[in-house]
Structure 1
Amino acid sequence: MEIIPLTWLDKINSSRKTVVVLAVLALFSGIGTYTVFARSGAAGPNPDIVLGFMYLNLGLLIVIGLLVSKRLVKLWFQRRQGLAGSQLHTRMVVLFSVVAVIPTIVVALFSVFLFDFGIRSWFTERIGAAVDASQAVAEAYLEEHRQNISGDALAMAFDLNRQAPFLMSRPKQLAKFIQAQAAIRNLTEAVIFETSGKVLAKTGLSLTFDFEPFPESAFRKARNGEVATLTSEVDRVRAIIRLIISLMPTYLSPDL
């Protein structure tokens, strides 16, 4: 049986020296791949450089695989023709092939692992940064609303206290007054109530007040003449301030 000619494979120098050189190149390529990821910084590795190393590792693996395959094929044909020197020669060739291929395979797998790990880290950092930025925006949004509603509560309390002699004896006028105040300040709702829970006036949308009472700490702060603000899980911002419009302790609660 004739040995099948390996046309384009024969153009490659399949000596042991060539395979060893390629294996060393594969090792250095793996080190280069690791260096690219290790020194990429917060911005992440350059995609073009990473792809370049991946293609280089894959190319080295293919070339070494072809060279080793060529030697194994030739050895197989020689054994079929009885030309092989001995089993020792066969074992040496197989051992050399394995030793030459294993480092390249390890480097290729290592490169794939680094690429996957780098991509995961890159996305994790950016997702974390996006979450932190979103949280910062939400906190700034709530803080701005707290300041706005505190100013609205003080302004409404001032107007109510000034108009108290006229409004307290006219419940309908008080209701219209608070509705107008809420509309001017773009408030979701506003309520005037006593400590006992009696509602003196409220806007038309004030339907949830009875179900969301204020904590004692908010009342204590309001009794001291301060504006107490509270937030809910649905980003609802409320305030409470004490009024001086009647003998009974009376409070105003605007809501954004």
Structure 2
Amino acid sequence: MAAEAPTLNQPLFSQAGTRDGRRLLALPGVVAIAGAVITAAISFAILVGATPIAPTADTTWALVAANAVFVLFLIALIAREVRRIVLARRHGRAASRLHVRIVAMFALVAAIPAIMVAIIASITLDIGLDRWFEIRTKTIVNSSLSIADAYVQENARNLQGTTLSMAYDLDASRTLYGLDRSGFLDLLNKEAVGRGLAHAALINPDGSFVMKAKTDADFAMPEPPAGAVDTAAAGKPVLIEPRTRNIMGAIIKLREIEGLYLYTIRLVDPDVIKARQIVKGNTDEYRNLEDNRRTSQVAFALPYLSLTLIIILSAIWTGIAVADRIVRPIRQLIGAADEVATGNLDVAVPVRQSDGDVASLGDTFNNMILELK
């Protein structure tokens, strides 16, 4: 509400009190704007992975809540100021129409560019994600993994055939196994070396080794994985795919030598296995991104929406503050002019040098009233 124009005999310290009151009213807005901008900047840095804080779902919701607090605070402050302006307009206070026009101008100037940027950013993000997950990209990703898997499967089929053939040869020499274990070990050595195996061994159902072939491999033969021997008990070969090492294995039950299994090891190209692991990891990450596409869009859109709201609300609040600063001296001039029109020459407009040209106008008005009086 505008202060009543003081008379010449009225002390001017009441205007200082009014200024202090307006500053106290403006302080929450300044704090809200600063806090909202800082919170939005921190949220953006976290969501794009520029900080040590991981952008998890809980973190995202916490950031949403923090931004919402400042946004709601700004909305409450603006609602309070808008209510004050509307009441002034209803009561027909001087310069109330100018007040509304200045606030509307600030709001439009800030809102239109901010909304356009937000819309363009959202469309750009959506188009960018469409390119990430288009059919051609999916085909490239899946083909890369298929090529690596095909290499492993081809080596697995070769090892399976080699192990079956070797098992037949060993079964055919069951008599040698019963009569001459050393001679059978020599046969096992020749079979392993001749078939290009890194290791070969006969094992018990519990996985313990009965005999190992002597080869040129520079690493120790690993123990069979848990459960692999039990799976091979049905008579079908069990393949052990390479995981962290470039080692592929196979286990098959011997038909003629009771209670024993043939366990073979072959090396595969380590570069291919390494590349396969990288491709598989990237493929899993790509599929995870595809499954969480909407979540990613929301996570990226949140900073845009938050910053847009903060910019618009801050501009509206700033527009109200600037309008108050401009309209206040004009309203005082109009009030003082109305007093003069009624014949009261004992009025003076309080002048502040910070009002600029309007302050000069106030000085001129006061001098005019003194001359008239």
**TM-score normalised to structure 2 length:** 0.36
Q: Higher relative contact order at CA 8 Å, sep ≥6: structure 1 or structure 2?
A: 2
- Relative to its length, the structure with more helix (as a share) is 2
Larger Rg: 2
